[in-house]
Amino acid sequence: MSITIYDQLVPVFSHMLSSLDKVLTKAEADAAARKIDLDVFVNGRLAPDMLPLTRQIQIMTDQAKGGASRLAGQDPPKWPDEEANFADLHARIAKTIAHLKTFKPNQFEGAETRSIELKFPNATFNFTGKDYLLKFVMPNFYFHYTTAYAILRHNGVQIGKGDFLGNR
Amino acid sequence: MSITIYDQLVPVFSHMLSSLDKVLTKAEADAAARKIDLDVFVNGRLAPDMLPLTRQIQIMTDQAKGGASRLAGQDPPKWPDEEANFADLHARIAKTIAHLKTFKPNQFEGAETRSIELKFPNATFNFTGKDYLLKFVMPNFYFHYTTAYAILRHNGVQIGKGDFLGNR
């Protein structure tokens, strides 16, 4: 009646990141077919005060990187947020999947009760490992994945739920 | 190093559904302040071939209802998808939270290996309970929650990530 933290995070996020990678490849083909400059997608937003595609993917990958690292008791590596085109975004996704691959199930021993502190410029959050995973990392990961997907859909890219879930 | 299926699903989804309920209340106040007919939000979409707000919330609540029921070995109750306004959507959310409250942790005993079959008009999916939760219910729940949130954001409602996560 329980599932390891490794299983909840490492294989699932790797799978979703691979699905995002394929979604981006479809978006590139779509832009080529419709003769749309890829920068339009890179800078696409759902509202003027929402973040563009690049930032959605940077934050999504940060959730995977930070979630796995912190729950395994490590400081997350710092990655500059310099992605500016689709090649950069593919590389960011590949780097994140490679980071996830470095973890072994036993590194998450006791992670559900580990104290996790997140410092932001205007706030500090303190979580147990369990709440950090379930109420922060997981919803944030899918929030930014869905928003990235929705930016492309909003811009007319022909993708569907099967692409999002990676089951086609 | 593991977390029960009950903990992954029941309290977390209840929390997120309560957060969505508050997001809808903010959207109603925003519509009143900007003199916007609430039907504009109810029928809002991110793309002409994406589903409107009502369907996003119906499917999101179906994931919570179906996920908990099937993982506990029960047939999910059938709910007609007749919601047409904000009052109906609040009621749908309340009904879903009430349904989640009927489950006890021990009902998910062995759920991670339970066989789950989902039949759709054009496809049948077979999952273990673990894959059904992690690769179907969880991403779908957040996909439709995020899309509902994004429809409101796209329409200018002043909400933020803290509202989505329910930590403010």
Q: Which residues of A touch B126 (CB under 8 A)?
A: none
The mean per-residue pLDDT over the stretch B132-152 comes to 98
Q: How many C-beta atoms surround the C-beta of residue A84 within 10 A?
A: 12
Whether the predicted pLDDT of A32 surpasses 90 = yes
Whether the predicted pLDDT of A164 surpasses 90 = yes
For residue A110, how far is the Cα from the chain centroid?
24
What are the structure tokens assigned to A32, written together? 């080529």
Residue B11 DSSP one-character state: H
Q: How many C-beta atoms surround the C-beta of residue A48 within 10 A?
A: 6
* Residues facing residue B115 across a β-bridge: B128
Write the pLDDT tens digit of every residue in A47-80. Answer: 999 999 999 999 999 999 999 999 999 999 999 9
Looking at residue B168, what is its pLDDT?
A: 61
Write the pLDDT tens digit of every residue in A102-141. Answer: 999 999 999 999 999 999 898 899 999 999 999 999 999 9
Rounded (to 5) percent helix, strand, coil in chain B: 65, 10, 30
Whether the predicted pLDDT of B80 surpasses 70 = yes
Minimal Cα–Cα distance from B47 to chain A, Å?
5
Classify strands B2-4 and B115-119 as parallel, antiparallel or unpaired: unpaired
Q: What stretch of H or E contains B93?
A: helix B86-101
Q: Which residues of B touch A149 (CB under 8 A)?
A: 143
Longest CA–CA span in chain A (Å) reads 52
Answer yes or no: do A143 and B139 touch at CB < 8 A: no
The mean per-residue pLDDT over the stretch B101-118 comes to 96
Task: Select from B156, B154, B140, B141 the least CA-distant residue to B19.
Answer: B141
What are the structure tokens assigned to A153, written together? 């859909």
Which of A3, A9, A18 should we substitute to test contact with B (largest number of B Cβ atoms within 10 Å)? A3
The mean per-residue pLDDT over the stretch B55-73 comes to 98
d(CA B79, CA B62): 9
User: Which amino acid, one-letter code, is at B150?
Assistant: A
Q: Give the confidence band of A168 by pLDDT, cuts at 50, 70, 90.
A: low
Q: What stretch of H or E contains B142?
A: helix B138-154
